Amino acid sequence: MIDQIYRKAVLTVSGQKFVENIVRKQGWGLAQRFVAGEEVDGAIAAVKELQAEGIQGNMDLLGEFVASPEKANEFAQKVLHLLDAAHAAGVMPYASVKLSAVGQGQTVDGQDLGLTNGRRIVGKAKEYGGFICLDMEDHPRVDQTLSQFRTLAEEFGTQHVGTVLQSYLYRTEADRDSLDDLSPNLRIVKGAYLEPESVAMPDKADVDASYRKLVYAHMKAGNYVNIGTHDESIIEDVKHFALAHGIEKDAYEFQMLYGVRRDLQRELAAAGYRVRAYIPYGRDWYPYFSRRIAERPANVMFILKGMLKG
């Protein structure tokens, strides 16, 4: 409950425009701990740096809730440029995309623009042998995102597109079960949006229990699972579960955030586990930065110390 109160307080404060203006003015240097620059070259350089340590990358051009078809198409074109640039640099294009950023919910020529642009993006990734993860957003968008994921998975194959499930939503166990026929590649996360208690679990213990249940169920079903957490107790439990059930290390991977627990990422990679860092970049970094601060009090202390230094 304390964690829920803390997250709600931080997200409420960060949503105030005057706070955003202050942080945007003073906080970019600090945000670079979590964001790999504002341009695509920074993201690709970050991937190559991590690959030298045996860690793979998942690039994400930051942006969400685009309001017009023109802006959505512009954003989609930037994602396509990312895939082209990664391929040209010898990096397998592996990227995350929020469908709301490429037009989800906007109808153009009788089709949802998010799905239209999703087809363009996943098709390009498939051309290069890459992968697109459709990020999950707040709960009103879950149904449409899962529906569009199913469409794209059936058209392009689950080896080229996956999505994300959030353990703090009560509905998620049923959502995972409903996708089993696809043998989907899923990333499991706890959830970082400010959600009402009517749809999301308020207590950390319940969220953690739900998280373990989702990961174990997906593993036992024989599906590839991305364990998106820095929680060492969960990581250890997953390792023991996989060992006890004869699940090989190439059937799952640990995904963590760029700039967070780099020591743990290196440790897992050195032990032979697949590790992938989620590497955000772009000029629209403030919402993402706010959610990272809301996740851990230690992140607030990092920011405050940085601001005091300069």
pLDDT for 64-121, tens place per residue? 668 899 999 999 999 999 999 999 999 999 999 999 999 999 999 999 999 999 999 9
State the average pLDDT for the chain.
Answer: 88
Question: Quick one: average pLDDT of 36-60?
Answer: 96
What pLDDT score does 205 carry?
96
Query: Which string of b and e fits 78-116 if b means at least 16 CB within 10 Å?
Result: ebbebbebbbeeebebbbbbbbbbbbbebeeeeebbbbb
What pLDDT score does 294 carry?
59
What is the band of 309 on the pLDDT scale with cuts at 50, 70, 90?
Answer: very low
What pLDDT score does 69 carry?
96
Question: Quick one: average pLDDT of 217-225?
Answer: 98
What pLDDT score does 43 carry?
97
Q: What is the pTM of this model?
A: 0.86
More confident residue, 194 or 47: 47
More confident residue, 182 or 293: 182
pLDDT for 280-293, tens place per residue? 998 876 767 666 56
Q: Are 57 and 279 in contact (CB under 8 A)?
A: yes
Q: Are 158 and 194 in contact (CB under 8 A)?
A: no
DSSP conformational letter for 200: B
More confident residue, 64 or 198: 198
Residues annotated as catalytic are 135, 187
In the predicted structure, residue 10 carries a pLDDT above the cut 60: no
d(CA 161, CA 170): 24
What pLDDT score does 305 carry?
44
Q: Are 11 and 287 in contact (CB under 8 A)?
A: no
Q: Which domains does the chain have, with CATH numbers?
A: 60-280 (3.20.20.220)
